[in-house]
Amino acid sequence: MLAVTNIHKAFGTNEVLRGVDIMVEKGDVVVLLGASGSGKTTLLRCINFLELADQGHIRVGGIDIAFRDARKKDIHAIRRKISFVFQNYNLFNNKTALENVTEGLIIGRGMPKSQAVRIGKACLDKVGLANKFDSYPGQLSGGQQQRVGIARAVAVNPEVILFDEPTSALDPELIGEVLDVMKRLATEGTTMLIVTHEMSFARDVATKVVFMDEGNVVESGRPKEIFVKPKERRTRQFLQRFLGDSDYAI
Amino acid sequence: MNPRFIFETFLKLLPYLTVTLEYVSLSLLFGTLLGFLAAAAKLGRNRPLRWLANAYTTILRCTPSVVLLFLVFFILPAVMRNYLRINVDAWPALFFVVVTFTLFLGASQSEVMRGAYLAVDRGQFEAGVSVGMTEWQSFRRVVLPQAFFFALPNLTNTVIYLFKEGSLAFTIGVVDIMGKAYLVNATNFGLKALDVYLALALIYWPLSVFFEWLGRLLERRFGYTQVKPEAGKTAESVRGRGRSSIRGVRA
Ligand SMILES: Nc1ncnc2c1ncn2[C@@H]1O[C@H](COP(=O)(O)OP(=O)(O)O)[C@@H](O)[C@H]1O
Ligand SMILES: [Mg+2]
């Protein structure tokens, strides 16, 4: 479970997050929507302390702390409970697919190598890469790399996985394979907070949709509510831009 | 040209190779450490440290190596005597050579390392901490090996440069292969200069080639990092992608 309250973040004078609250219950698949520049990436990065929020509070897996009060030790503990899937995959280029997945287990958690390898292979198998254990990132397609990225995030058994536009860097024909993996995780009850522009995915898989604009949460609710009967004008405008028509129906 | 004399001289010079290799390896070791610290300072958030490291690099870059060697040789003893109360008069001249080249390498290596560090996408470091590694673990396991690969060609260059430039050591009385060659030449009244320095070259050439080969071997060993993953696309294509997915909704 993850609860973030009143999170503020500015870059210089640019106020990017203006008091955002996000709640992700166990087993939830929360999809975060919003126009480019609305602060979605910054929000995810703040949750994982890749950026330090100016204000706000985080509660995850028994840890309950204000962002500003978190020391190195707390940050490390929180990161162990949250994993991250990046838009550009960010695989370790000097490690094989399997090593990419086991690294966090062996080095980060001190797990015995044999056990880590067993888990790593199972996770790669789950994302359909059982035949790519020994490939380096440079030898994999974008879709395969992102699936390794997902396996790496799943392997450490986190409370919640954050996805930042996991399919945005992919060629169109490779998007499906990644979304399929994410759908499977959802049916298995993996807790996820996902930034994406894949509307059909949001509609079909999300348990909750959150719409952000200019650093604020404008509206949130079940996908049906948001897609069919958005209450806020800004949500409607955003959806119209993406869906492009008024006869859209679920 | 007298092949026999060349060979004899070659054998005479050979033992002094240990001196050469001594200051090369020691300077390389300490210079790399110093370079690492200076690079860390330049990349770090501490302003005075950053300024200091940059100033150090600039000053060292603008000083010819002979000049630095003399400065170190004549000024360092005075400084150490007056401020640290350490008498270095009896210390071997080799010490000053190592100090000089350590200072030099520290400056050039710090730039090499800074560049190599920046060449590794920060996202990989972030991915490392996101799977529960500490910052140090992520740096050591992910960034460092790749940065090392990016630094290798420069490192090889540095070793060869040091190996040859080290011949300056003789100017403060360190008898390395160059120094010995100078002495042998003098005992022959300079009459066999060509042969003597040819014998010297016969040591420099193969060893330089060996260092080059070693560098390339290491590059191959760490070469997998050369394979770069497909870079992330721009925001433009991201937005385009968003629209294309609507077709999926309608279908
Ligand atoms: N590291 C940074 N430094 C300065 N400004 C940033 C940084 N990261 C993001 N921003 C700014 O924050 C705003 C929101 O960016 P981002 O969180 O990436 O939005 P989104 O992911 O919703 O497209 C943008 O105006 C962007 O320019
Ligand atoms: Mg973004």
Strands A160-164 and A29-34 turn out to be: unpaired
Q: Which residues line ligand 1 (CB under 6 A)?
A: A 11, 14, 16, 34, 36-42
The atom of ligand 1 lying closest to the CA of A43 is: 17
**pLDDT of B50-102, one tens digit each?**
999 999 999 998 999 889 999 999 888 888 888 888 888 778 889 999 999 99
Q: Are the beta carbons of A186 and A157 closer than 8 angstroms? A: no
Full-prediction pTM beyond 0.90?
Answer: no
CATH class of the domain comprising B3-242: mainly alpha
Question: How many degrees, rounded to 5, is the angle at CA B238 between CA A58 and CA A218?
Answer: 45
| Ligand 1: centre distance to CA A204 (Å) | 28
Q: CA nearest B163: which of B3, B28, B15?
A: B28
- Cα of B14 vs its chain's centroid, Å: 24
In chain A, positions 188-247, which contact chain B (CB-CB < 8 Å)?
197-201, 203, 242-244
* Partner residue facing B232 (CB), from A87, A103, A136: A87
Q: Are the beta carbons of A103 and B131 closer than 8 angstroms? A: yes
Set of chain B residues whose Cβ sits within 8 Å of the Cβ of A139: 227
Instruction: Report the residue of chain B nearest A227, measured CA to CA.
Output: B249
Q: How far apart are CA A63 and CA A66, in angstroms?
A: 10
Q: Per-domain residue ranges for chain B?
A: 3-242
Substitution candidate for ligand 1 out of A31, A36, A41 with most atoms within 8 A of CB: A41
**pLDDT of A122-162, one tens digit each?**
999 999 999 999 999 999 999 999 999 999 999 999 999 99
Given an 8 Å threshold on Cβ–Cβ distance, is A104 in contact with B124?
no
| Ligand 1: centre distance to CA A66 (Å) | 22
DSSP assignment of A22-63 equals EEE-TT-EEEEEE-TTSSHHHHHHHHTTSS--SEEEEEETTE
Taking the CA of residue B143 and the nearest CA in chain A, the distance in Å comes to: 9
Q: How far apart are CA A27 and CA A24, in angstroms?
A: 8
pLDDT higher than threshold 80 for residue B178: yes
- Provide CB contacts within 8 A for B158, sequence distance 6+: B28, B105, B108, B109, B112
Set of chain B residues whose Cβ sits within 8 Å of the Cβ of A104: 128, 131-133
